[in-house]
Structure 1
Amino acid sequence: MQDDFEYDALTFRAPQRTRWYTRLWPACLGHGCFGQKRPQFQLYLIGYDPVGQLQRAASVGDVALVEKFINGSEYHINEIDRRGRTSLHYACAHNHPNVVAWLVSNDCTDINIQDDEGCTPLIKATQRDNVECISILLMQGADPHIVDFGGDAALHHAVIRGNITIAEKLLKYKANIDAKTEYGLTPYKLALYERQHQMAEFLIKNGAEAHSVLQPNRSLIDPEDGLAASKPKW
């Protein structure tokens, strides 16, 4: 017993090295690193950062600089970046109606040009709830029937957002109130699926067909062929 005590007294016990995560934990407490959910964003709300000088000028609403670039023949008005986005896309995404108005007043502007997601400037403005930009685009002849590569037209995006003001503007310019998504959903059925009840009532009042009812957040069934469809990837 005495030998054991003397051995323990003479033995050098090196401090154990702490794991990296035990050192990280105290530093992160109270700073949101752990225990808090990160905000989830729809894909169309992020990743729309301009690349070129013309696109940057449009995204910050600098009309004078946009005009200088285009009139000085430094850039073409329909010039696209690697994502297929024009200065008009960026002006609509970042809500600069003054830039939008200047761009669409130019006869060379392709108002319905699509980016690499199939979004026209009108669809992009709808995704961002930018009402004034939408009004300018529609007055200048933007086509509300074009769908993106996910199969959704501007009206479908307005329904998902629950934006009745934009939906009303699109219908005023002859958007198809019964247009189907690639999953077979009309705007009315899409409103039910998204639990946008006020939007559903608005669409019924404006002539939407409601011959069948879709239960929200259930498997989607196409009433015409009875086949189950995949859940929309929104």
Structure 2
Amino acid sequence: METETQAAVKAGDVAKLQKLLADGVNLDAKDEDERTSLHWACATGRLDVAEFLLEHAHAAVNVQDDAGWTPLMSAASAGHGDIVGLLLSKGADANLPNENGQIPLHYHRVIIALLLDHGAKVNTRDVGGNTPLHLAISEGYDDIARFLIENGANPNAKNNDEERCVDLAKPAFRAEIQMLMDKKKGGSNA
């Protein structure tokens, strides 16, 4: 059964949360699945509520539910980048794993898949001519780069500095990119 606090969080009712806090209610209490109000705010995209909980209710930023999920994982898996940024600025641990050994970066891939499923163009370039693959490779996000290539990203795309995505990769990952390209072409190197 949903508590008064959970209802206020999901509705984005900060005024109600302020009243509950003033009345002595512990807004950081856990539910039957060990989730806190911050988990719910992050999962439902309530940035204003997350800010309030962190600033005024002193919510624990790295708290884990019974499956090991943190508020950061909840926000990342739901695609709430603004909340992800807030949590990281408040000290959220980007490498705290859940019970499956996954970290929020694993869920970033889910966000990319959702975007691609909704028509995002995988080879779109920014003002520097960089594609998402350029950025993934240059930041060392090999798992994301692999996923982008598997979904049509062009490893030979050049940015404004004439740098190909594949040229930005570490040598070991360059070989893997070539294998992925060959696999997509049916084993052909041409």
**TM-score computed with the length of structure 1 as normaliser:** 0.53
Are residue 72 (structure 1) and residue 35 (structure 2) matched? Answer: no
Are residue 61 (structure 1) and residue 12 (structure 2) matched? Answer: yes
Gapped regions of structure 1 (runs ≥ 5):
1-49, 165-176, 179-186, 219-234
Relative to structure 1, is the Cα distance of residues 145 and 210 closer, same or farther in structure 2, using a 3 angstrom cutoff?
same
Which of these residues, 31, 47, 61, is aligned with residue 111 of structure 1? 61
In structure 2, what is the Cα distance between the partners aligned to 1:147 and 1:205? Answer: 31
Are residue 188 (structure 1) and residue 162 (structure 2) matched? Answer: no
Relative to structure 1, is the Cα distance of residues 150 and 72 closer, same or farther in structure 2, using a 3 angstrom cutoff?
same
* Cα deviation code 1:88-124 (max 9, x no counterpart): 1111111110001111113632111011221111110
Indicate the residue corresponding to 2:32 in structure 1: 82
In structure 2, what is the Cα distance between the partners aligned to 1:204 and 1:141? Answer: 33
In structure 1, what residue type is equivalent to 2:18?
Answer: E
**SS of 1:162 mapped into structure 2:** helix
Maintained 8 Å contact 1:159/1:199: no
In structure 2, what is the Cα distance between the partners aligned to 1:149 and 1:160? Answer: 18
Indicate the residue corresponding to 2:173 in structure 1: 210
Which of these residues, 94, 104, 111, is aligned with residue 154 of structure 1? 104
* Cα deviation code 1:190-211 (max 9, x no counterpart): 652573555999x979877625
Percent of residue pairs identical: 25
Maintained 8 Å contact 1:93/1:124: yes
Indicate the residue corresponding to 1:95 in structure 2: 45
Maintained 8 Å contact 2:12/2:48: yes
Indicate the residue corresponding to 2:187 in structure 1: none
In structure 2, what is the Cα distance between the partners aligned to 1:63 and 1:154? Answer: 27
**SS of 1:137 mapped into structure 2:** helix
Where has structure 1 moved over 6 Å in runs of 4 or more? 203-209
Deviation, 1:69, is 1.1
| Equivalent residues, number | 146
Maintained 8 Å contact 1:162/1:196: no
Taking the TM superposition and a 5 Å limit, the aligned residue runs for 1:213-232 are: 213=176
Gapped regions of structure 2 (runs ≥ 5):
116-138, 158-164, 184-190
In structure 2, what is the Cα distance between the partners aligned to 1:107 and 1:199? Answer: 47
Maintained 8 Å contact 1:79/1:86: yes
In structure 2, what is the Cα distance between the partners aligned to 1:61 and 1:199? Answer: 41
Larger gyration radius, structure 1 or structure 2: 1
Are residue 120 (structure 1) and residue 74 (structure 2) matched? Answer: no
**TM-score computed with the length of structure 2 as normaliser:** 0.64
In structure 2, what residue type is equivalent to 1:192?
Answer: R
